[in-house]
Amino acid sequence: MDMLKISGSRIVEVGKLAWVTPDVDFLCFGESDQSSPASAHRAARMALDEGLTTYQDVRGLPALRQALADYMTALHARPVAEERVQVTASGMAAVSVALAATVRAGDRVVLHSPAWPNVENAALTRAAIVDPIGLTGLPDGSFTLDLDELDAKLAGARAFILNSPNNPTGWTASLDELRAILDICRRRGVWLISDEVYSRLVYDGADAAPSLLDIAEPDDRMIVCNSFSKTWVMTGWRLGWMTLPAGTRETVSEIVEVTHSSVAPFIQRAGLAAVADTAAVADFRAHCARGRDLCGEALAGLNGVRYAAPRGAFYAFVGIEGLTDSLGFAKRLVTEHKVAVAPGMAFGPAGEGHLRICFAQSADRMERAVQRLRDGLREGLGR
Protein backbone atom coordinates (compact mmCIF):
# COMPACT_ATOMS: atom_id res chain seq x y z
CA MET A 1 0.00 0.00 0.00
CA ASP A 2 1.57 3.31 -1.07
CA MET A 3 -0.73 5.64 0.88
CA LEU A 4 0.49 7.76 3.78
CA LYS A 5 -0.34 6.14 7.12
CA ILE A 6 -0.50 8.05 10.37
CA SER A 7 -1.25 6.81 13.88
CA GLY A 8 -4.92 6.42 14.71
CA SER A 9 -6.47 8.30 17.60
CA ARG A 10 -6.36 6.46 20.92
CA ILE A 11 -9.07 8.83 22.15
CA VAL A 12 -11.39 7.58 19.41
CA GLU A 13 -10.42 4.01 20.32
CA VAL A 14 -11.75 4.59 23.82
CA GLY A 15 -14.78 6.38 22.39
CA LYS A 16 -15.66 3.45 20.13
CA LEU A 17 -15.68 1.14 23.12
CA ALA A 18 -17.80 3.59 25.10
CA TRP A 19 -20.35 3.94 22.29
CA VAL A 20 -21.16 0.22 22.43
CA THR A 21 -21.15 0.04 26.24
CA PRO A 22 -24.45 1.01 27.90
CA ASP A 23 -24.75 3.93 30.33
CA VAL A 24 -21.28 5.45 29.93
CA ASP A 25 -20.44 9.04 30.89
CA PHE A 26 -18.27 10.60 28.19
CA LEU A 27 -15.41 12.74 29.45
CA CYS A 28 -12.97 11.61 26.77
CA PHE A 29 -13.64 14.06 23.94
CA GLY A 30 -12.80 17.77 23.84
CA GLU A 31 -16.45 18.75 23.74
CA SER A 32 -19.05 20.11 26.12
CA ASP A 33 -22.59 18.85 26.64
CA GLN A 34 -23.83 22.46 26.30
CA SER A 35 -25.61 23.79 23.22
CA SER A 36 -24.18 26.34 20.80
CA PRO A 37 -25.47 29.90 21.31
CA ALA A 38 -29.11 30.38 20.31
CA SER A 39 -27.97 33.48 18.42
CA ALA A 40 -25.82 31.30 16.13
CA HIS A 41 -28.72 28.91 15.50
CA ARG A 42 -31.03 31.78 14.56
CA ALA A 43 -28.46 33.37 12.26
CA ALA A 44 -27.82 30.08 10.44
CA ARG A 45 -31.54 29.45 9.91
CA MET A 46 -32.06 32.97 8.59
CA ALA A 47 -29.12 32.60 6.22
CA LEU A 48 -30.49 29.32 4.90
CA ASP A 49 -33.91 30.91 4.43
CA GLU A 50 -32.19 33.65 2.42
CA GLY A 51 -30.60 31.02 0.18
CA LEU A 52 -27.01 31.64 1.31
CA THR A 53 -25.67 28.28 0.14
CA THR A 54 -23.36 29.32 -2.71
CA TYR A 55 -19.62 29.79 -3.02
CA GLN A 56 -18.28 32.87 -1.25
CA ASP A 57 -15.07 34.86 -1.02
CA VAL A 58 -12.43 32.29 -0.08
CA ARG A 59 -11.01 34.78 2.44
CA GLY A 60 -14.31 34.75 4.37
CA LEU A 61 -17.36 36.98 4.45
CA PRO A 62 -16.16 40.61 4.72
CA ALA A 63 -18.46 41.24 7.68
CA LEU A 64 -17.06 38.24 9.58
CA ARG A 65 -13.46 39.18 8.81
CA GLN A 66 -14.06 42.69 10.14
CA ALA A 67 -15.92 41.41 13.20
CA LEU A 68 -13.02 39.07 14.04
CA ALA A 69 -10.50 41.88 13.58
CA ASP A 70 -12.55 44.09 15.91
CA TYR A 71 -12.94 41.23 18.40
CA MET A 72 -9.18 40.61 18.59
CA THR A 73 -8.38 44.31 18.73
CA ALA A 74 -10.71 44.73 21.71
CA LEU A 75 -9.42 41.58 23.44
CA HIS A 76 -5.68 42.07 23.01
CA ALA A 77 -3.18 44.83 23.61
CA ARG A 78 -2.42 45.56 19.95
CA PRO A 79 -4.80 46.21 17.04
CA VAL A 80 -5.40 43.55 14.40
CA ALA A 81 -6.19 44.78 10.89
CA GLU A 82 -8.92 43.08 8.87
CA GLU A 83 -6.45 42.35 6.06
CA ARG A 84 -4.66 39.91 8.38
CA VAL A 85 -7.79 37.75 9.00
CA GLN A 86 -8.44 34.55 7.01
CA VAL A 87 -11.56 32.46 7.74
CA THR A 88 -11.11 28.67 7.70
CA ALA A 89 -13.24 25.54 8.05
CA SER A 90 -12.22 24.89 11.70
CA GLY A 91 -9.21 25.55 13.88
CA MET A 92 -7.65 22.30 12.67
CA ALA A 93 -7.96 23.54 9.10
CA ALA A 94 -6.20 26.73 10.20
CA VAL A 95 -3.29 24.72 11.61
CA SER A 96 -3.10 22.57 8.47
CA VAL A 97 -3.10 25.62 6.18
CA ALA A 98 -0.45 27.31 8.35
CA LEU A 99 1.78 24.25 7.99
CA ALA A 100 1.13 24.05 4.24
CA ALA A 101 2.16 27.69 3.90
CA THR A 102 5.39 27.43 5.88
CA VAL A 103 6.73 23.85 6.02
CA ARG A 104 8.33 21.72 3.32
CA ALA A 105 9.35 18.06 3.22
CA GLY A 106 12.27 17.37 5.52
CA ASP A 107 11.84 20.56 7.55
CA ARG A 108 12.08 20.15 11.31
CA VAL A 109 9.01 21.22 13.27
CA VAL A 110 9.28 21.55 17.05
CA LEU A 111 6.19 20.76 19.09
CA HIS A 112 5.89 20.78 22.86
CA SER A 113 4.55 17.54 24.32
CA PRO A 114 2.12 16.25 25.58
CA ALA A 115 0.17 17.62 22.64
CA TRP A 116 -3.09 17.14 20.79
CA PRO A 117 -2.18 14.36 18.31
CA ASN A 118 -3.86 15.96 15.29
CA VAL A 119 -1.26 18.72 15.21
CA GLU A 120 1.68 16.33 15.02
CA ASN A 121 -0.09 14.29 12.36
CA ALA A 122 -0.78 17.43 10.33
CA ALA A 123 2.96 18.16 10.32
CA LEU A 124 3.72 14.57 9.34
CA THR A 125 1.40 14.84 6.34
CA ARG A 126 3.68 17.67 5.16
CA ALA A 127 6.60 15.17 5.39
CA ALA A 128 8.07 17.28 8.16
CA ILE A 129 10.31 15.89 10.88
CA VAL A 130 8.49 16.41 14.19
CA ASP A 131 10.89 17.09 17.04
CA PRO A 132 9.08 17.13 20.42
CA ILE A 133 10.13 19.11 23.45
CA GLY A 134 8.60 17.87 26.67
CA LEU A 135 6.70 20.09 29.01
CA THR A 136 8.29 19.62 32.41
CA GLY A 137 5.99 18.06 34.98
CA LEU A 138 6.25 19.62 38.43
CA PRO A 139 5.68 17.82 41.75
CA ASP A 140 2.31 19.50 42.28
CA GLY A 141 0.98 18.14 38.96
CA SER A 142 1.38 21.36 36.95
CA PHE A 143 3.65 21.84 33.94
CA THR A 144 6.19 24.33 32.62
CA LEU A 145 8.22 24.85 29.45
CA ASP A 146 12.02 25.05 29.71
CA LEU A 147 12.86 28.10 27.61
CA ASP A 148 16.60 27.39 27.50
CA GLU A 149 15.88 23.92 26.13
CA LEU A 150 13.48 25.46 23.61
CA ASP A 151 16.14 27.91 22.45
CA ALA A 152 18.59 25.09 21.79
CA LYS A 153 15.93 22.93 20.13
CA LEU A 154 14.92 25.69 17.70
CA ALA A 155 18.39 26.02 16.20
CA GLY A 156 17.94 25.06 12.54
CA ALA A 157 14.21 24.36 12.91
CA ARG A 158 11.63 25.64 10.44
CA ALA A 159 8.66 26.11 12.77
CA PHE A 160 7.56 25.92 16.39
CA ILE A 161 3.96 25.01 17.18
CA LEU A 162 2.75 26.55 20.42
CA ASN A 163 -0.54 25.66 22.12
CA SER A 164 -1.43 27.86 25.09
CA PRO A 165 -3.70 27.27 26.95
CA ASN A 166 -2.64 23.73 26.30
CA ASN A 167 -4.54 20.61 25.42
CA PRO A 168 -4.17 18.31 27.37
CA THR A 169 -2.25 19.76 30.33
CA GLY A 170 -3.88 23.17 30.82
CA TRP A 171 -0.42 24.78 30.88
CA THR A 172 -0.81 28.45 30.03
CA ALA A 173 2.18 30.61 29.10
CA SER A 174 2.58 33.90 30.91
CA LEU A 175 3.10 37.11 28.95
CA ASP A 176 6.78 37.07 29.93
CA GLU A 177 7.12 33.51 28.66
CA LEU A 178 5.44 34.49 25.39
CA ARG A 179 7.87 37.40 25.00
CA ALA A 180 10.77 35.01 25.50
CA ILE A 181 9.32 32.49 23.01
CA LEU A 182 8.77 35.21 20.42
CA ASP A 183 12.29 36.54 20.92
CA ILE A 184 13.77 33.05 20.46
CA CYS A 185 11.79 32.49 17.26
CA ARG A 186 12.84 35.87 15.89
CA ARG A 187 16.49 35.23 16.66
CA ARG A 188 16.39 31.70 15.22
CA GLY A 189 14.40 32.72 12.14
CA VAL A 190 11.68 30.19 13.00
CA TRP A 191 8.01 30.38 12.04
CA LEU A 192 5.79 30.51 15.13
CA ILE A 193 2.40 28.81 14.72
CA SER A 194 0.27 29.49 17.78
CA ASP A 195 -2.88 27.46 18.50
CA GLU A 196 -4.98 29.70 20.76
CA VAL A 197 -8.36 27.96 20.52
CA TYR A 198 -8.72 27.86 24.33
CA SER A 199 -7.72 31.48 24.86
CA ARG A 200 -11.03 32.54 26.43
CA LEU A 201 -11.20 29.60 28.85
CA VAL A 202 -9.09 30.86 31.75
CA TYR A 203 -9.95 30.91 35.43
CA ASP A 204 -8.03 33.84 36.91
CA GLY A 205 -10.63 36.51 36.21
CA ALA A 206 -9.03 37.65 32.94
CA ASP A 207 -11.02 37.93 29.72
CA ALA A 208 -8.42 35.87 27.88
CA ALA A 209 -5.11 34.10 28.31
CA PRO A 210 -1.95 36.01 27.43
CA SER A 211 -1.58 35.97 23.65
CA LEU A 212 1.10 36.58 21.11
CA LEU A 213 -1.34 39.11 19.68
CA ASP A 214 -0.62 41.20 22.79
CA ILE A 215 3.05 41.61 21.90
CA ALA A 216 3.92 40.66 18.30
CA GLU A 217 4.44 43.04 15.40
CA PRO A 218 2.24 42.69 12.29
CA ASP A 219 5.21 41.52 10.21
CA ASP A 220 6.47 38.84 12.62
CA ARG A 221 6.80 35.33 11.16
CA MET A 222 3.81 34.23 13.21
CA ILE A 223 0.40 32.71 12.47
CA VAL A 224 -2.23 32.55 15.21
CA CYS A 225 -4.93 29.89 14.75
CA ASN A 226 -8.29 30.08 16.45
CA SER A 227 -11.69 28.41 16.39
CA PHE A 228 -15.34 28.86 17.27
CA SER A 229 -15.42 25.30 18.63
CA LYS A 230 -14.35 25.97 22.21
CA THR A 231 -15.11 29.62 23.03
CA TRP A 232 -18.62 29.51 21.56
CA VAL A 233 -19.36 25.75 22.01
CA MET A 234 -19.57 25.25 18.23
CA THR A 235 -17.54 22.08 17.70
CA GLY A 236 -19.69 20.64 14.92
CA TRP A 237 -20.02 23.85 12.94
CA ARG A 238 -16.39 23.64 11.70
CA LEU A 239 -15.45 27.30 11.69
CA GLY A 240 -12.14 28.92 12.54
CA TRP A 241 -9.77 31.64 11.50
CA MET A 242 -6.13 32.63 11.16
CA THR A 243 -4.36 35.85 12.05
CA LEU A 244 -1.58 36.22 9.48
CA PRO A 245 1.48 38.39 9.01
CA ALA A 246 0.64 41.63 7.26
CA GLY A 247 0.66 41.32 3.49
CA THR A 248 0.34 37.51 3.32
CA ARG A 249 -3.41 36.88 3.18
CA GLU A 250 -3.67 36.73 -0.61
CA THR A 251 -0.98 34.06 -0.68
CA VAL A 252 -2.57 32.05 2.14
CA SER A 253 -6.05 32.35 0.64
CA GLU A 254 -4.80 30.47 -2.41
CA ILE A 255 -3.82 27.59 -0.12
CA VAL A 256 -7.25 27.71 1.52
CA GLU A 257 -8.79 27.57 -1.98
CA VAL A 258 -7.10 24.26 -2.78
CA THR A 259 -7.61 22.90 0.75
CA HIS A 260 -11.33 23.40 1.35
CA SER A 261 -12.35 26.42 -0.75
CA SER A 262 -14.71 28.83 0.98
CA VAL A 263 -16.60 28.16 4.21
CA ALA A 264 -20.37 27.75 3.88
CA PRO A 265 -21.92 31.24 4.18
CA PHE A 266 -24.69 30.16 6.57
CA ILE A 267 -22.00 28.82 8.92
CA GLN A 268 -20.15 32.12 8.69
CA ARG A 269 -23.36 34.01 9.48
CA ALA A 270 -23.69 31.87 12.60
CA GLY A 271 -20.13 32.80 13.51
CA LEU A 272 -20.85 36.47 13.01
CA ALA A 273 -23.74 36.23 15.46
CA ALA A 274 -21.61 34.30 17.95
CA VAL A 275 -18.83 36.91 17.96
CA ALA A 276 -21.39 39.51 19.01
CA ASP A 277 -22.79 37.26 21.75
CA THR A 278 -20.50 38.22 24.64
CA ALA A 279 -22.84 36.69 27.23
CA ALA A 280 -22.39 33.24 25.67
CA VAL A 281 -18.63 33.37 26.27
CA ALA A 282 -18.98 34.40 29.91
CA ASP A 283 -21.67 31.78 30.54
CA PHE A 284 -19.59 28.98 29.06
CA ARG A 285 -16.51 29.98 31.04
CA ALA A 286 -18.57 29.88 34.23
CA HIS A 287 -19.94 26.48 33.18
CA CYS A 288 -16.40 25.14 32.75
CA ALA A 289 -15.26 26.69 36.03
CA ARG A 290 -17.97 24.73 37.87
CA GLY A 291 -16.87 21.49 36.18
CA ARG A 292 -13.28 22.29 37.10
CA ASP A 293 -14.26 22.67 40.76
CA LEU A 294 -16.18 19.40 40.78
CA CYS A 295 -13.28 17.57 39.17
CA GLY A 296 -10.83 18.94 41.73
CA GLU A 297 -13.13 17.97 44.61
CA ALA A 298 -13.41 14.42 43.30
CA LEU A 299 -9.65 13.98 42.89
CA ALA A 300 -8.74 15.53 46.24
CA GLY A 301 -7.39 13.13 48.83
CA LEU A 302 -6.72 10.24 46.46
CA ASN A 303 -3.33 8.72 47.16
CA GLY A 304 -1.27 8.07 44.05
CA VAL A 305 -2.98 10.83 42.10
CA ARG A 306 -1.06 13.93 40.99
CA TYR A 307 -3.18 16.83 39.80
CA ALA A 308 -3.10 20.61 39.72
CA ALA A 309 -6.15 22.58 38.62
CA PRO A 310 -5.35 23.94 35.14
CA ARG A 311 -4.98 27.66 34.50
CA GLY A 312 -6.68 27.34 31.12
CA ALA A 313 -8.63 25.08 28.72
CA PHE A 314 -11.21 22.60 30.06
CA TYR A 315 -9.22 19.49 30.87
CA ALA A 316 -7.85 17.86 33.99
CA PHE A 317 -4.62 16.06 33.16
CA VAL A 318 -4.18 13.61 35.99
CA GLY A 319 -0.96 11.79 36.79
CA ILE A 320 -1.46 8.27 38.16
CA GLU A 321 1.32 6.70 40.22
CA GLY A 322 2.69 3.53 38.60
CA LEU A 323 0.45 3.73 35.52
CA THR A 324 2.25 2.38 32.44
CA ASP A 325 -0.72 1.47 30.22
CA SER A 326 -3.10 4.42 30.21
CA LEU A 327 -5.00 3.06 27.18
CA GLY A 328 -5.72 -0.25 28.88
CA PHE A 329 -6.71 1.50 32.09
CA ALA A 330 -9.02 3.89 30.22
CA LYS A 331 -10.75 0.93 28.58
CA ARG A 332 -11.25 -0.75 31.95
CA LEU A 333 -12.80 2.43 33.29
CA VAL A 334 -15.33 2.22 30.43
CA THR A 335 -16.27 -1.42 30.86
CA GLU A 336 -16.04 -1.69 34.64
CA HIS A 337 -16.97 1.81 35.86
CA LYS A 338 -18.99 3.34 33.00
CA VAL A 339 -16.84 6.43 32.54
CA ALA A 340 -14.78 7.30 29.43
CA VAL A 341 -11.63 9.41 29.73
CA ALA A 342 -8.76 9.97 27.31
CA PRO A 343 -5.57 7.95 27.86
CA GLY A 344 -2.49 10.09 28.37
CA MET A 345 -0.51 8.10 25.81
CA ALA A 346 -2.84 9.52 23.11
CA PHE A 347 -0.93 12.79 23.50
CA GLY A 348 2.50 11.29 22.90
CA PRO A 349 4.99 9.37 25.04
CA ALA A 350 5.23 12.30 27.48
CA GLY A 351 1.56 11.81 28.30
CA GLU A 352 1.81 8.19 29.40
CA GLY A 353 0.95 7.72 33.05
CA HIS A 354 -1.85 10.27 32.83
CA LEU A 355 -5.56 10.47 32.06
CA ARG A 356 -7.27 13.48 30.47
CA ILE A 357 -10.73 14.42 31.73
CA CYS A 358 -12.94 16.95 29.93
CA PHE A 359 -14.78 18.83 32.68
CA ALA A 360 -16.87 21.07 30.37
CA GLN A 361 -20.00 19.14 31.35
CA SER A 362 -23.17 19.90 33.28
CA ALA A 363 -22.98 19.56 37.05
CA ASP A 364 -25.22 16.50 37.29
CA ARG A 365 -23.19 14.63 34.66
CA MET A 366 -19.89 15.66 36.24
CA GLU A 367 -20.97 14.63 39.73
CA ARG A 368 -21.95 11.15 38.55
CA ALA A 369 -18.97 10.74 36.21
CA VAL A 370 -16.29 11.84 38.65
CA GLN A 371 -17.71 9.56 41.35
CA ARG A 372 -17.41 6.68 38.89
CA LEU A 373 -13.89 7.80 38.06
CA ARG A 374 -12.99 8.10 41.73
CA ASP A 375 -14.22 4.55 42.34
CA GLY A 376 -12.22 3.32 39.35
CA LEU A 377 -9.05 5.05 40.48
CA ARG A 378 -9.36 3.67 43.99
CA GLU A 379 -9.86 0.16 42.67
CA GLY A 380 -7.12 0.49 40.05
CA LEU A 381 -4.64 1.86 42.55
CA GLY A 382 -5.64 -0.67 45.17
CA ARG A 383 -6.51 2.09 47.63
Rounded CA-CA distance 330/324 in Å is 12
* Residue range 198-254, pLDDT digits in tens: 999 999 999 999 999 999 999 999 999 999 999 999 999 999 999 999 999 999 999
Report, in angstroms and rounded to the nearest whole number, the Rg of the chain calculated over CA atoms: 20
**One fold for both 10-30+279-381 and 38-276?**
no
Architecture of domain 10-30+279-381: Alpha-Beta Complex (3.90)
CB 63 within 8 A of CB 86: no
Whether the CB-CB separation of 164 and 209 falls below 8 Å is answered with yes
Ordered by start, the domain boundaries in the chain are: 10-30+279-381, 38-276
Q: Whole-angstrom Cα distance, residue 336 to residue 18? A: 11
The three-state (H, E, C) secondary structure of 53-120, written as one string: CCCCCCCCCHHHHHHHHHHHHHHCCCCCCHHHEEEECCHHHHHHHHHHHHCCCCCEEEEEECCCHHHH
pLDDT in tens, 271-292: 999 999 999 999 999 999 999 9
State residue 132 phi and psi, 5-degree precision: -75, 150
Q: Is the pLDDT of residue 5 over 70?
A: yes
Span 149-178, average pLDDT: 98
Closest by Cα among 231, 225, 235 to 277: 231
CATH dotted code for 38-276: 3.40.640.10
Contact 91, 68 (CB under 8 A): no
Spatial contact of 333 and 373, defined as CB atoms under 8 Å apart: yes
